[in-house]
Amino acid sequence: MSIKIEEVKSTTHAQRVAPHSHVKGLGLNNDGSAILPISNGLVGQDKAREAAGIAVSLIKSKKLSGRAILLAGAPGTGKTALAMAVSQELGPKVPFCPMVGSEVYSSEVKKTEVLMENFRRSIGLRIKENKEVYEGEVTELTPEETENPHGGYGKTISGIIIGLKTTKGTRTLKLDPSIYESVQKEKVSVGDVIYIEANSGAVKRVGRSDAYATEHDLEAEEYVPLPKGEVHKKKEIVQDVTLHDLDVANAKPQGGSDIMSMMGQMLKQKRTEITDKLRKEINKIVNKYIDQGIAELVPGVLFIDEVHMLDIECFTFLNRALESTIAPIVIFATNRGYSKIRGTDVNSPHGIPLDLLDRLMIIRTLPYSTQDITHILNIRSNVEGIDISTEANHYLADVGTRTSLRYAVQLLTPAKILAKTNGKTTITREEVEEIESLFLDAKASAKLLREQSEKYLK
């Protein structure tokens, strides 16, 4: 069986302001101690941050593969923020796959298939290949046109002339018309640094030559130096893929060029299960690549939030999956105390079976103090571009202590809208008090239900 490797496009893009946009890392000193009270968007939780820092060190040294960590704490104590901080510390090259426990209940595929798919998404493979390439800054890009052999008025591309420049010289190449499509797909223009694989003809745009760095471009452009050496050279190409990418690439049925095949590709494909046999075959080839030194395994992180939503079948599957030779680091998060294991009548700590709990290293998150909540509200108001007075911020922190941190954070934007309606640019205590009177938190709503229970249906 020949393995197929497809290049995976970068998924990094500008994101809207999300609940954890402010988290940039764990905020630790060189000795692993937490920088207090605030660092990298995280506030307090010094013990939890230091424990997560040790976990990151183990992940980077590849000594935690197949092990699991549980983040346990009350709602709104920063469990997801800690997991996001771990992801930021590991960097973009280490796969980080977040999911929620309820995602396994899909109508199309089995629960265990959803878990296995996410396991495979969390394991990266760094493939290094020595390829013969033409590399340089594009100095000329001219498509050659000829009369359409099938008649008609239109012309077809018969070839493409590309001029490439490096520090050692220049070369002009006349290439096959099929490469013109790759050039258009990569949006290559004069002044870009590209490389063309000699064997496959694949074109890759590296970035814009730094000679053009003074240009005022509206788009954020990546500038790269002029390539060294000759235009034609042998180059080590490093490609990062996940095992799930390989599974999908090798499981896709290859359709023909007829109209029905094209229609099938255009229509939304139904989610299908990848067979265990195919995965075993891919694992064999991956292991062979690793033994030959062509590839390197990069165990990433699978983050399962609300892990108590999984049932006994999923927990049994996780017990086996964690023992696999190819397994990522799994971080669970839960806000449950003693609760029933889903699918059974058994009560267990955190709603997790004791045999799985025995495998976990547990990191505890503690409730935030009023001072911590004040710092978090400051960070969130800065991230969301909200101007709030010191008095209003302190009052909102008291509200958060009385109710919950999430509720206090959610009141920021409505208070901003109210301040704007009142002709103010800064939120004052008056707006926070009015907004608090308009909305109920969970505790106030529960109290009201108890007091007026006879007025509601049961």
Domain boundaries defined on the chain: 1-122+300-367, 129-238, 370-451
Q: Specify the pLDDT at position 11.
A: 43
Would you state the structure tokens that stand for residue 403, as one six-digit string? 């109710």
CATH 3.30.460.80 given to domain 370-451: no
pTM flag (> 0.85)? no
Structure tokens at 170: 């220049």
Note the pLDDT of residue 150.
Answer: 65
Look up residue 225 and give its two tokens. Answer: 């130096």
Cα separation, 88 vs 185, whole angstroms: 31
pLDDT-derived band at 433 (thresholds 50, 70, 90) equals: very high
pLDDT band at 364 (very low <50, low <70, confident <90, very high): very high
Residue range 313-323, pLDDT digits in tens: 999 999 888 88
Give the pairing of strands 123-147 and 295-299.
Answer: antiparallel
pLDDT band at 215 (very low <50, low <70, confident <90, very high): low
The predicted structure's pLDDT at residue 421: 92
Position 265 scores a pLDDT of 47
Higher pLDDT, 202 or 448: 448
Query: Looking at residue 260, what is its pLDDT?
Result: 47
Q: What is the DSSP letter of 290?
A: H
pLDDT at 397 over 90: yes
Distance of CA 393 to the CA centre of its chain: 32
Supply the pLDDT for residue 270. 57
pLDDT for the residue 17: 63
CATH for 1-122+300-367 is 3.40.50.300
For residue 186, the model assigns a pLDDT of 84
Compute the CA torsion angle 185, 191, 196, 201 (nearest 10 deg).
40
With a CB cutoff of 8 Å and minimum separation 6, the contacts of 217 are none
Average pLDDT over the chain, rounded to an integer: 83
State the Cα–Cα distance between residues 415 and 430, nearest whole angstrom: 9
Per residue in 109-167, pLDDT tens? Answer: 889 899 999 999 998 888 887 778 888 899 988 888 777 666 556 677 778 888 998 88
129-238 homologous superfamily: RuvBL1 DNA/RNA binding domain (2.40.50.360)
What share of the chain in percent tops pLDDT 70?
Answer: 86
Q: How many CB atoms lie within 10 A of CB 169?
A: 11
Given the DSSP bridges, would you call strands 192-197 and 123-147 parallel, antiparallel or unpaired?
antiparallel
Instruction: Give the C-alpha separation, 19 to 79, whole Å.
Output: 12
**Mean pLDDT, rounded, for 269-273:** 63
User: Which run of H or E residues covers position 349?
Assistant: strand 347-349
Residue 261 has pLDDT above 60, yes or no: no
CA atoms within 13 A on the CB side of 233: 17
pLDDT one-digit tens code per residue, 60-91: 777 666 678 999 999 888 898 898 898 888 88
> pLDDT band for position 350 (50/70/90)?
very high
Burial of 242 from C-beta contacts in 10 A (0-12 / 13-18 / 19+):
buried
- Give the 3-state secondary structure of residue 86: helix
Check residues 117 and 58 and name the one with the higher pLDDT.
Answer: 117
- The pLDDT-based confidence of 220 (bands split at 50, 70, 90) is low
Lowest mean pLDDT among 15-19, 24-28, 99-103: 15-19
> Which whole number is the average pLDDT over 367-378?
92
- What percent of the chain is predicted at pLDDT more than 90? 31
The phi, psi pair for 365, rounded to 5°, reads -105, 140
Residue 420 φ/ψ, nearest 5 degrees: -65, -40
List pLDDT tens digits, range 243-259: 988 888 887 655 444 55
